[in-house]
Amino acid sequence: MKKKLKIGLFGFGVVGQGLYHVLNETHGVKAEIARICVKNREKKRSLPAGIFTYEAADILNDPAIDVVVELIDDAKAAFQIVKSALEKGKHVVTANKKMLAENLSEIYELQQTHNRSVLYEGSVCGSIPILRNLEEYYDNDLITSIEGIFNGSTNYILTKVFEERKSYGDALKGAQELGFAESDPSLDVKGFDPKFKLTIAIAHTFGVFVKPEEIINIGIDKISAVDLKYARENNLTIKLVARAYKLDGKIVGWVAPQFIPADHMLANVRNEYNAVLVQGAFAEKQVFIGKGAGSYPTGSAVLSDISALTFDYRYEYKKFTQGDALPFSSDVLVDVVISFTHKDSILPADFESFKGGYQGHGLQYMTGSVSLVKLKELSQRNDVSVILAPELNLSSIQKVEEKELLSA
Amino acid sequence: MKKKLKIGLFGFGVVGQGLYHVLNETHGVKAEIARICVKNREKKRSLPAGIFTYEAADILNDPAIDVVVELIDDAKAAFQIVKSALEKGKHVVTANKKMLAENLSEIYELQQTHNRSVLYEGSVCGSIPILRNLEEYYDNDLITSIEGIFNGSTNYILTKVFEERKSYGDALKGAQELGFAESDPSLDVKGFDPKFKLTIAIAHTFGVFVKPEEIINIGIDKISAVDLKYARENNLTIKLVARAYKLDGKIVGWVAPQFIPADHMLANVRNEYNAVLVQGAFAEKQVFIGKGAGSYPTGSAVLSDISALTFDYRYEYKKFTQGDALPFSSDVLVDVVISFTHKDSILPADFESFKGGYQGHGLQYMTGSVSLVKLKELSQRNDVSVILAPELNLSSIQKVEEKELLSA
């Protein structure tokens, strides 16, 4: 049965304020925010002073508070709050993907130890209810792959670069002004933020707790003019794709930019939208699209977790508890297009299997398949940009190599 | 806690067989099919004869059976089975959209009376978990609109007509051969099947029980060569769209073909795929895409309902029980492109507000806004094809009128 929940909220930034308003405007969630713990005593607040505290203990030691909602930036401090809250017998709702990705295995154990629930739908792809669907709807499906656009800020940048021909710098500035970008933009553009989300998604999809540092991430910050030209001339777009799938008795995964055909379901996912594509043996291909950033979309995901707590909902981690999870690995070959400016930066010998290339006008690219670990290494060279081939299949790329792509 | 469920299955067609295999191949659902009631004694079956019966009573009167899964074609007989099962204290899982759409209000009451659950995720858009998400994830969101591609068979036909330039008849034949079409194809192509699904979705989205006959449906069976040309020349495609939204204190809705811009999220939803676009005050725009037909996708939706029953899951019908639902109405103006072959079939006076038209080469079209009820009437004239304007907004259409669209 439903019970009225008292919430102690940590953090009152955009998502916290979004949650506050969403909770006030909706009926039917038996929950109220009783106390809000904030850090900055100087900041002007939109609510009466009485609701705020600067002491975590005022929330953690209050036996009347049932649920801690943690929405602060600092992953380490957030983890301490989550631990203390569980120890004090409170349920937790959080959207802190970095904290979750780094501590998910321990957070799982803490939930068992203290018999309390930690819910975090807002941490992965904002408003998209992907975790709940993985937990409940796909709980018995044999999922083979999960992939998608897991970062709204980079998707906004790529959209502006492609559709409005903005420079990368202008597009990034635009994303920051709209509040889509993390305070440290390298978390977005170098692919760390989507990697944290992928880490969490992998646990609920395949039942493996991977450390984020085990997953290779390649960003969009080095995408070159050649890449854009290549994409436009071949009716492709570029998306930063997070991906994990079953391969030969293991789970492989990464975050990397990828060419996407214009008629692919991910191609029309624009601006701050995110998308998740799940493939399973039974439900087959399914796509979820929604806003990945913004105070209301994330606030609504947090609210749905609070609402679920009124029904004593907990993640089952069924794919993990079934005990037949496969190990995670980065040992995989990927098909890729590598562009570079210095003639000898990349050599055919860098490829496991070299397919072809183009050279001219001081710009060049090569295509072929490369081991993922080697690709990460190549991507760190100064003048090199790496983009995965569409659908991991070079057949369509091979066709276009016959054209002169870089004609002036 | 989870309990082992004994299932009595009615019908053993494609979905029933899909369910049987899905249930066998997955671990973790504590459920088994104990008995299968079929009609045709002559048909060769893929399972041992002992599991089959030809008497409904063998399942309905068996106290060991907890759940009736109803997967037969006949809506009237299906409703009798659902009623009897609930009266006998059994939960029900069904995917029979016609039966549900015609009896949803009574099925809601029967669940309350007998304190049993009827789940029907498989009835709306096959594998897309839309009902569960409306019930659980959007239970507190203020949803303003739900729309999408609710019929896999017509979407397959339209895809083949557009992309492979097949004739309508050939494409329909292809859909039938692949088993996507209903046994009576007019249920699909005239928009009845998506209307049944929309009826069910409206109940869970807005809390109104509408009778399917109150909802206007216009099919794709009269789409003309002019429509296709118009679409191609304006970078549009045509989809059969089911839609319902809040408007001036009421809920309006319909099923009708609509022009969709090529860069719209619904445009890349192809073949037998379905899509649902939900707009809410908090989660904003969200899209769910998945296979709308086929034995495994629907079987997996049915399985997820069975799995949910092991947790005593029931739909809450929260939007209905909150008691502030808006009435349903077809009193709405829609923007539309009407093409016709006889010069005077359609006149500017047929429009509430006439915007413009084109005439030449024995073909013509007119655009403007028309009342939905009038549009249905016009659509029934022999030589007339009606297609809603993209996004209900004529601004982009007005632009293209300046071009000569039908030049030979």
Give A38-55 pLDDT, tens digit per residue: 999 888 888 999 999 999
- On whether both B278 and B166 belong to a single domain, the answer is yes
Q: What percentage of residues in chain A have a pLDDT greater than 70?
A: 94
Residue A315 belongs to some domain of the structure: no
Q: DSSP string covering A27-96, please?
A: SS--EEEEEEE-S-SSS--SS-GGGEES-HHHHHT-TT--EEEE--S-HHHHHHHHHHHHHTT-EEEE--
Secondary structure letter of residue A135 according to DSSP: I
Secondary structure letter of residue B326 according to DSSP: P
Residue A74 belongs to some domain of the structure: yes
Position A191 scores a pLDDT of 97
Position B22 scores a pLDDT of 82
Q: Which of A266-275, A283-292, A394-403 has the lowest mean pLDDT?
A: A394-403
- On whether both A115 and A161 belong to a single domain, the answer is no
CA torsion sign for B242, B245, B248, B251 is positive
Residue A86 belongs to some domain of the structure: yes
Which residues make beta-bridge pairs with B243?
A: B147, B254
The pair of three-digit structure tokens given for residue A67, joined into one six-digit string:
């649920």
Q: Which of A8-22, A201-215, B73-87, B117-131 has the lowest mean pLDDT?
A: A8-22
Tally of CB atoms within 10 A around A101: 28
What is the distance between the alpha carbons of residues B94 and B75, in angstroms, rounded to a whole number? 11
Instruction: Kindly report the length of chain B.
Output: 408
* pLDDT surpassing 70 at residue A385: yes
Q: What are the angstrom distances between the C-alpha of B282 and each of A36, A155, A275, B109, B189?
A: 21, 21, 18, 31, 35
**pTM, to two decimals:** 0.91
CATH classification at residue A17: 3.40.50.720
> Mean pLDDT for chain A?
90
Domain boundary among the residues A240, A264, A292 is at: A292
CATH classification at residue B353: 3.30.70
Domain boundary among the residues A265, A292, A319 is at: A292
The pair of three-digit structure tokens given for residue B188, joined into one six-digit string:
């699909």
3-class secondary-structure state, position A157: helix
Q: By C-alpha distance, which of B156, B182, B184, B186 is closest to B170? A: B156
Give the structural domain span for A105.
5-123
CA torsion sign for A298, A303, A306, A310 is negative
Q: Which of B195, B197, B239, B291 is catalytic?
A: B197
Q: What are the angstrom distances between the C-alpha of B79 and each of A11, B304, B305, B314?
A: 52, 21, 18, 19
- On whether both B149 and B284 belong to a single domain, the answer is yes
What is the distance between the alpha carbons of residues B156 and B149, in angstroms, rounded to a whole number? 11
- On whether both A145 and A110 belong to a single domain, the answer is no
In chain B, the residue whose alpha carbon lies closest to the alpha carbon of A284 is B297
- On whether both B266 and B196 belong to a single domain, the answer is yes
* Close Cβ partners of B38 (under 8 Å, ≥ 6 residues apart): B11, B12, B45, B52, B53, B54
Position B402 scores a pLDDT of 33
CATH classification at residue B253: 3.30.360.10
Q: What residues of B are in contact with residue A283 (Cβ under 8 Å)?
A: 127, 290-291, 296-297, 300-301
- Partner A, chain B 310-369, Cβ-Cβ below 8 Å: 318, 322
- Per-residue pLDDT 10s for chain B (408 aa) are 456 899 999 999 988 998 998 888 877 788 999 999 999 888 888 899 999 999 999 999 999 999 999 999 999 999 999 999 999 999 999 999 999 999 999 999 999 999 999 999 999 998 899 999 999 888 777 899 999 999 999 999 999 999 899 888 888 888 888 877 766 788 999 999 999 999 999 999 999 999 999 999 999 999 988 899 889 989 999 999 999 999 999 999 999 999 999 888 899 899 999 999 999 888 889 999 999 877 888 888 999 999 999 889 999 998 898 888 899 999 999 999 999 988 889 999 999 999 988 887 667 999 999 999 999 999 999 999 999 998 643 333 333 333 333 332
Please report which residue ranges of A134-238 form alpha helices under DSSP H.
152-163, 168-177, 185-189, 192-206, 225-233
Position A204 scores a pLDDT of 96
Position B390 scores a pLDDT of 86
- On whether both A260 and A151 belong to a single domain, the answer is yes
Position B60 scores a pLDDT of 98
Is residue B170 exposed (0-12), middle (13-18) or buried (19+ Cβ within 10 Å)?
middle
| Mean pLDDT of the A191-205 span | 97
Residue B387 belongs to some domain of the structure: yes
Global ipTM: 0.88
Which residues make beta-bridge pairs with A386?
A: A338
Position A3 scores a pLDDT of 66
| Mean pLDDT of the A309-329 span | 91
Residue B33 belongs to some domain of the structure: no
The pair of three-digit structure tokens given for residue A232, joined into one six-digit string:
């436009």
Residue A285 belongs to some domain of the structure: yes
Count of structural domains within chain A: 3
Cβ separation B28–A140 shorter than 8 A: yes
Q: What residues of A are in contact with residue B26 (Cβ under 8 Å)?
A: 140-142, 282
Judged by phi (left if over 0) then psi (alpha if -120 to 50, else beta), residue A182 lies in beta
What is the distance between the alpha carbons of residues A288 and A132, in angstroms, rounded to a whole number? 12
- On whether both A138 and A112 belong to a single domain, the answer is no
Secondary structure letter of residue B325 according to DSSP: P
Q: What is the 3-state secondary structure (H, E, C) of A221-271?
A: CCCCHHHHHHHHHCCEEEEEEEEEEEECCEEEEEEEEEEEECCCCCCCCCC
Residue A324 belongs to some domain of the structure: no
- On whether both A163 and A243 belong to a single domain, the answer is yes
Q: Is A88 a catalytic residue?
A: no
Of residues A394 and B257, more confidently modeled:
B257
Domain boundary among the residues B290, B315, B347 is at: B290
- On whether both A267 and A165 belong to a single domain, the answer is yes
Beta strands B67-70 and B5-10: pairing type? Answer: parallel
Secondary structure letter of residue B392 according to DSSP: G
3-class secondary-structure state, position A364: strand
- Partner A, chain B 223-282, Cβ-Cβ below 8 Å: 263-265, 267-270, 273, 280-282
Place of tokens 């601006």: A271
> Out of B300, B318, B322, whose CB is closest to A282?
B300
Of residues A343 and A313, more confidently modeled:
A313
* pLDDT surpassing 70 at residue A189: yes
Position A405 scores a pLDDT of 34
Phi, psi of B368 (to 5 degrees): 160, -170
What is the distance between the alpha carbons of residues A285 and A264, in angstroms, rounded to a whole number? 13
Q: What residues of B are in contact with residue A297 (Cβ under 8 Å)?
A: 282-284
The pair of three-digit structure tokens given for residue B274, joined into one six-digit string:
């379905």
Position A391 scores a pLDDT of 64
In chain A, the residue whose alpha carbon lies closest to the alpha carbon of B29 is A140
**What pLDDT, in 10s, does the model give residues A349-366?**
999 999 988 887 667 999
Beta strands B91-94 and A284-291: pairing type? Answer: unpaired
Q: Helix, strand, coil proportions of chain A in percent (round to 5)?
A: 40, 25, 35
3-class secondary-structure state, position A370: strand
Which residues make beta-bridge pairs with A314?
A: none
Position A263 scores a pLDDT of 85
The per-residue b/e assignment along A267-283, b for 16 or more CB within 10 angstroms, e otherwise, is bbbbbbbbbbbbbbebb
What is the distance between the alpha carbons of residues B36 and B11, in angstroms, rounded to a whole number? 7
The pair of three-digit structure tokens given for residue B232, joined into one six-digit string:
């191609």
Q: Do B241 and B264 touch, CB atoms closer than 8 A? A: no
- Partner B, chain A 96-155, Cβ-Cβ below 8 Å: 127-129, 132-133, 136-137, 139-142
Cβ separation B132–A137 shorter than 8 A: yes
**What pLDDT, in 10s, does the model give residues A91-145?**
999 999 999 999 999 999 999 999 999 999 999 998 899 999 999 888 777 899 9
- On whether both B282 and B339 belong to a single domain, the answer is no
Residue B200 belongs to some domain of the structure: yes
Cβ separation A137–B265 shorter than 8 A: no
- On whether both B179 and B278 belong to a single domain, the answer is yes
Secondary structure letter of residue A326 according to DSSP: P
Cβ separation A26–B280 shorter than 8 A: no
The per-residue b/e assignment along A41-72, b for 16 or more CB within 10 angstroms, e otherwise, is eeeeeeeeeeebbeebeebbebeebbbbbbbb
